[in-house]
Amino acid sequence: MGPLGQHLSWSHGYFSFPRLEGEIAPRMMFNGKEHLVWSLNNYLGLANDPEVRKADAEGAAEFGMAYPMGARMMSGNSKYHEALEQDLAAFVKKDDAFLLNYGYQGMLSIIDTLVDRNDVIVYDAESHACIIDGVRLHMGKRFVYKHNDIESCDKQLERATKLIEQTGGGILLITEGVFGMSGAQGKLKEIVALKNKYDFRLLIDDAHGFGTMGQTGAGTHEAQDCIEGVDIYFGTFAKSMAGIGAFVASTEEIVNYLRYNMRSQTFAKALPMPMVVGLKKRFELLKSKPELRNNLWTIATALQAGLRERGFDTGVTNTMVTPVFLQGDLNEATALTMDLRKNYGIFCSIVVYPVIPKGLIQLRLIPTASHSLADVELTLSAFTEVGEKLKAGTYKELKMAFA
């Protein structure tokens, strides 16, 4: 690789993705150069799968992009939507499910619908932004517990229990199956065990766990053997299913309540038919091809083991999400990232202050089933070199020119 220049320029860049028949390699064109990409939430490699693309095209050809013209409660329902809901419910081992047009606003609306001013929300401090925004809408009390800290969770449940004794409400505990930044699993089984002590319902956001975690890919609640203890299960299609939309699964009573009371679904258009048809094919492949999930874990295991062997800090991840923590300031973080892109052809996400503490750099790599072990070796070699440059102070001396 060529040496890093004294000045690096930054632009918004130009992305283009390959459209070759059968091509699923995680590569893209950025500023006119092909890059190996580690920042696509395409866990099972379905985004450009030939069968998926065929289903998408056939769905668009049959129904167009407009249908259904309306919200689910009005003119936007179809047998395709209902069939997918039934299949999803059975897969995550719940009685019923409800398709949602978007994941982010879906979670906001679920929280808004499930609780009123007499209820109390208890939630993990490092919950996804959609959960935080949903909690902000809550007109009642809310208590946050330290991230994945069961003792702290216990204390907040105790506070919440004392409060609902006065209000007559209930407690909704919200956490994630897989935390997308750190890669840590939520301590679902330990939280479920607290039901022996407190009365609450558990809602989990398993956006990263659906399709990737558990023996069948049903989710993190399957992986931790606590399916029954999770009252409301939320999964999105933007990760394993490489699509748009989400679903919520629970008892028939809760799902029906959500179906007719979620404002984001009652007053918005239903998930378009081409997407529903395409999701059906994606879901079939997710279930029928366990080798996709096996490939994902082969790559994730090799990547994480290789990073640790080379002295990199991958934090507490116990999932496929792979963070790499480095010491450095914002200027060094930007220079290092641009070095990876410009001179090594590697594109990955970067996280800096205020998301993480000052003085830390976090690179986040997302392994997929379509990566290869050769991709892993290429990346490990590049990370070794940029890690040495960072320690040597190379990036401190660079001036960044933004264009």
What would the pLDDT profile of 87-128 be if each residue is shown by its tens digit? Answer: 999 999 999 999 999 999 999 999 999 999 999 999 999 999
- Does 43 map to a domain? no
Do 64 and 137 sit in the same domain of this protein? yes
Confidence check: pLDDT of 23 > 70: no
Q: Which whole number is the average pLDDT over 215-232?
A: 98
- Does 277 map to a domain? yes
The number of folded domains in the chain is 2
Helices (H), 67-195: 79-91, 103-114, 129-137, 150-167, 188-193
Q: Which whole number is the average pLDDT over 150-178?
A: 98
Do 185 and 253 sit in the same domain of this protein? yes
* Last residue of one domain, picked from the residues 257, 288, 319: 288
Confidence check: pLDDT of 5 > 50: no
Do 73 and 32 sit in the same domain of this protein? no
Q: Which whole number is the average pLDDT over 9-16?
A: 38
Do 87 and 227 sit in the same domain of this protein? yes
More confident: 320 or 334: 320
Confidence of residue 402 (pLDDT cuts 50, 70, 90): very low
The rounded Cα 117 to chain-centroid distance in angstroms is 29
Give the pLDDT of residue 24. Answer: 52
Q: What is the CATH number of the domain that holds 331?
A: 3.90.1150.10
Confidence of residue 228 (pLDDT cuts 50, 70, 90): very high
Tens-place pLDDT, residues 259-291: 999 999 999 999 999 999 999 999 999 999 999
- Does 321 map to a domain? yes
Do 273 and 300 sit in the same domain of this protein? no
Confidence of residue 7 (pLDDT cuts 50, 70, 90): very low
Confidence of residue 370 (pLDDT cuts 50, 70, 90): very high
- Does 44 map to a domain? no
Do 194 and 220 sit in the same domain of this protein? yes
Do 182 and 98 sit in the same domain of this protein? yes
Give the pLDDT of residue 20. Answer: 36
DSSP string, 190-258: HHHHGGGTS--EEEEE-TTTTTTSSSSS--HHHHTT-TTT-SEEEEESSSTT-SS-EEEEE-HHHHHHH
Task: Specify the long-range contacts of residues 394-399, CB closer than 8 Å, at least 24 apart.
Answer: 394/4, 395/328, 395/331, 395/332, 395/335, 395/336, 395/339, 396/329, 396/331, 396/332, 397/6, 398/4, 398/6, 398/7, 398/8, 398/331, 398/335, 399/6, 399/7
Do 306 and 199 sit in the same domain of this protein? no
Give the pLDDT of residue 99. Answer: 97
Q: What is the reported pTM?
A: 0.91
Do 119 and 266 sit in the same domain of this protein? yes
DSSP letter (8 states) at residue 397: G
Q: What is the CATH number of the domain that holds 63?
A: 3.40.640.10
Instruction: Count how many Cα atoms sit within 13 Å of the Cα of residue 226 in the half-sphere of its side chain.
Output: 22
Compute, in degrees rounded to 10, the torsion defined by CA atoms 83, 85, 87, 88.
160
* Last residue of one domain, picked from the residues 266, 288, 310: 288
Q: Are 211 and 293 in contact (CB under 8 A)?
A: yes
Which of these, 366, 344, 364, 340, lies nearest to 352 by C-alpha position? Answer: 364
* Last residue of one domain, picked from the residues 267, 288, 309: 288
Confidence of residue 76 (pLDDT cuts 50, 70, 90): confident
Confidence of residue 401 (pLDDT cuts 50, 70, 90): very low
Give the range of the structural domain holding residue 209, as residue numbers without chain letter: 50-288
Compute the mean pLDDT over every residue in the chain, rounded to the nearest whole number. Answer: 91
Do 140 and 271 sit in the same domain of this protein? yes
- Does 42 map to a domain? no
Confidence check: pLDDT of 11 > 90: no
- Interatomic CA distance for residues 155 and 153, integer angstroms: 5
Give the pLDDT of residue 233. Answer: 98
- Interatomic CA distance for residues 90 and 211, integer angstroms: 14
Give the pLDDT of residue 13. Answer: 41
- Does 175 map to a domain? yes
Give the pLDDT of residue 6. Answer: 36
Confidence check: pLDDT of 12 > 50: no
Task: Read off the amino acid at residue 15.
Answer: F
- Does 45 map to a domain? no
Do 157 and 66 sit in the same domain of this protein? yes
Task: Read off the amino acid at residue 84.
Answer: L
Do 308 and 214 sit in the same domain of this protein? no
Confidence check: pLDDT of 72 > 50: yes
Q: Which of 26-30, 126-130, 291-295, 356-360 has the lowest mean pLDDT?
A: 26-30
Confidence of residue 32 (pLDDT cuts 50, 70, 90): confident
